[in-house]
């Protein structure tokens, strides 16, 4: 995509920081966002017209990285006689160089640097504290694991605690921006928007694939030449390491609807407690949900995958890896044609949940279910300041909505939550009225941009 969507504010801020280094001196920005969300492209775009170094922390040894980075410095900064022996030497040189030459330094996958040297963050803290007031450096630490990056800069007893001057969280594009992309390219229909949501989750790289696929995304992307087929493996195996098969089994279970811990353990045949915790708190791949009326310590928990793309990938690709090995993509296409309508119903719910969250009209959003599983509501959105509750049933087709059924469930909900005198609105969100829902819940402070 040549057009930039919903990134103008970050571009302007990043450029302003690098343009003002002679006055502000050293500035540290943290940029986080899941893989493929467009962090690197954003940074390249932001710093096109400023002196700019880019260092990527790959899975090499420290010696190999030191040699790679030293070569970059020799070429870009003309440091012919520089002979570093460790990564701290690289950083020390750059911090010193920028005292007389304003510079922007991007260190990508910054969280992985600890793998090379467990004590490096203390060394970086000392270097930064010693040089920050003298160096004209905009140091950008970029990472794809939000929880780890947040821990590094916000966690108690961390060497780099509160050393960041700016913290940018780069989010996937919301459903409204997917609609805008489709409208810009003459591809919008509510059904196709739902397809794109399931296949991308708003990740710009995947939206580029979908633009190339045009009007028949499944035929184009479920094929031997498609990058989608191996994308789940490429995104996750490196992070999971030798335990990737166990993690994949858990994610596959959640993707097919085994969303409680007991059902996940029954599916994989072993205990999963520590792995669920890591998937949520370290890898940012799953999240837990409690009924909207439940207390924070409630054990009534359901899990879901954060990224709709991974739900699709585990449901249709990983679950049919025998067909993938045989390159029988016609079989997988037939499965998608048969099952996508049912599969995408739950993802339509996640789409509308994002729309409500992005609207900034509510302070609490979640679902509701009772202990017996007899009363379940897809979405409940509450504004405690204005004392109003929106109760939503999500359907593909409005004609399948039964208002009285939702009314009965709502009465059950109101007995559980402490919201006296709140105005209650009951609605059905469906593909039929998707555009109306988008218009009603569009956040006015958000605008797509170049």
Domain ranges of the chain: 8-169, 175-342, 359-440
Query: What's the mean pLDDT in 133-162?
Result: 93
Contacts of 438 (CB under 8 A, 6+ apart): 175, 176, 179, 355
Residue 448 confidence (pLDDT) above 80: no
Which letter does DSSP use for residue 417 in this model? S
pLDDT above 80 (res 444): no
Output the pTM of the full model: 0.90
pLDDT tens-digit profile of 224-268?
A: 999 999 999 998 988 888 899 999 999 999 999 999 999 999 999
Distance between CA atoms of residues 37 and 205, nearest Å:
7
For residue 69, what are its two tokens? Answer: 């980075």
CA 128, CA 163: separation in Å to the nearest integer? 9
Cβ neighbors of 413 (< 8 A, separation 6 or more) are 292, 293, 368, 375, 377, 380, 391
pLDDT of 446 higher than 50? no
Non-local CB neighbours of 306 within 8 Å, separated by 6+ positions:
34, 284, 285, 286, 287
Which string of b and e fits 212-240 if b means at least 16 CB within 10 Å? ebeeebbebbbbeeeebbebbeebbeeeb
Q: Look at the block and give the residue holding tokens 């994002």.
A: 354
Q: What is the CATH number of domain 175-342?
A: 1.10.10
- CB of 210 closer than 8 Å to CB of 181: no
CATH fold label, 8-169: Rossmann fold (3.40.50)
d(Cα 217, Cα 210) in Å, to the nearest integer?
A: 6
Task: Identify the pLDDT of residue 449.
Answer: 29
Pairwise CA distance, residues 363 & 383, whole Å: 5
- Rounded to the nearest 5°, which phi and psi values hold at 269? 80, 20
How confident is the model at residue 302, as a pLDDT? 97
Place of tokens 């085994």: 258
**What is the third-level CATH fold of 359-440?**
Trna Endonuclease; Chain: A, domain 1 (3.40.1350)
Structural Rg of the chain based on CA atoms:
24
Between residues 444 and 8, which one has the greater pLDDT? 8
The string over 378-389, giving b where at least 16 C-beta atoms fall within 10 Å of a residue's C-beta and e elsewhere, is bbbbbeeeeebb
The pLDDT of 417-429, averaged and rounded, is: 96
Give the contacts of 36 (CB within 8 A, at least 6 positions apart).
203, 204, 205, 206, 235
Q: Rounded to an integer, what distance in angstroms lies between the CA atom of residue 201 and that of residue 204?
A: 9
Question: What mean pLDDT do residues 374-389 have?
Answer: 96
Q: How confident is the model at residue 7 (pLDDT cuts 50, 70, 90)?
A: confident
Whole-number mean pLDDT of the chain?
Answer: 94
């Amino acid at each position: 995509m040549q057009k930039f969507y919903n990134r103008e504010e970050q571009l302007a801020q990043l450029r302003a920081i690098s343009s003002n280094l002679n006055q502000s001196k050293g500035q540290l920005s943290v940029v986080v966002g899941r893989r493929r969300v467009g962090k690197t492209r954003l940074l390249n775009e932001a710093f096109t017209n400023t002196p700019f170094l880019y260092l990527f922390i790959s899975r090499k040894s420290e010696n190999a990285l030191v040699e790679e980075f030293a070569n970059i410095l020799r070429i870009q900064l003309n440091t012919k006689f520089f002979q570093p022996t460790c990564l701290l030497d690289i950083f020390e040189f750059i911090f010193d160089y920028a005292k007389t030459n304003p510079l922007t330094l991007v260190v990508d996958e910054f969280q992985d640097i600890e793998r090379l040297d467990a004590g490096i963050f203390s060394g970086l803290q000392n270097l930064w504290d010693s040089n920050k007031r003298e160096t004209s450096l905009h140091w950008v630490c970029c990472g794809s694991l939000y929880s780890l990056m947040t821990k590094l800069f916000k966690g108690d007893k961390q060497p780099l605690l509160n050393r960041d001057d700016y913290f940018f969280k780069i989010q996937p594009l919301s459903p409204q921006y997917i609609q805008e992309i489709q409208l810009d390219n003459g591809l919008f229909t509510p059904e196709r928007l739902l397809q794109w949501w399931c296949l991308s989750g708003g990740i710009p790289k995947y939206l580029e694939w979908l633009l190339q696929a045009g009007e028949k995304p499944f035929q184009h992307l479920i094929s031997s030449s498609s990058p989608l087929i191996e994308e789940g493996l490429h995104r996750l195996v490196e992070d999971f390491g030798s335990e990737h098969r166990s993690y994949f089994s858990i994610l596959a279970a959640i993707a097919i609807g085994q969303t409680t811990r007991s059902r996940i353990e029954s599916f994989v045949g072993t205990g999963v407690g520590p792995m669920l915790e890591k998937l949520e708190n370290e890898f940012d791949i799953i999240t837990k949900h409690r009924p909207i009326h439940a207390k924070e310590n409630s054990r009534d928990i359901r899990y879901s995958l954060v990224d709709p793309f991974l739900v699709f990938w585990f449901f249709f690709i990983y679950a049919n890896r025998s067909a993938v090995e045989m390159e029988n993509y016609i079989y997988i296409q037939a499965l998608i044609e048969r099952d996508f309508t049912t599969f995408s119903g739950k993802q339509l719910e996640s789409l509308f949940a994002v729309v409500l969250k992005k609207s900034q009209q509510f302070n609490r959003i979640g679902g509701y279910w009772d202990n017996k599983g007899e009363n379940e509501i897809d979405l409940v959105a509450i504004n405690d300041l204005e004392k109003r509750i929106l109760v939503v049933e999500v359907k593909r087709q409005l004609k399948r909505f039964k208002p009285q059924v939702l009314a009965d469930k709502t009465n059950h909900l109101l007995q559980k939550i402490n919201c006296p005198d709140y105005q209650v609105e009951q609605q059905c969100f469906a593909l039929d009225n998707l555009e109306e829902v988008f218009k009603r819940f569009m956040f006015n402070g958000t605008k797509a941009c170049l």
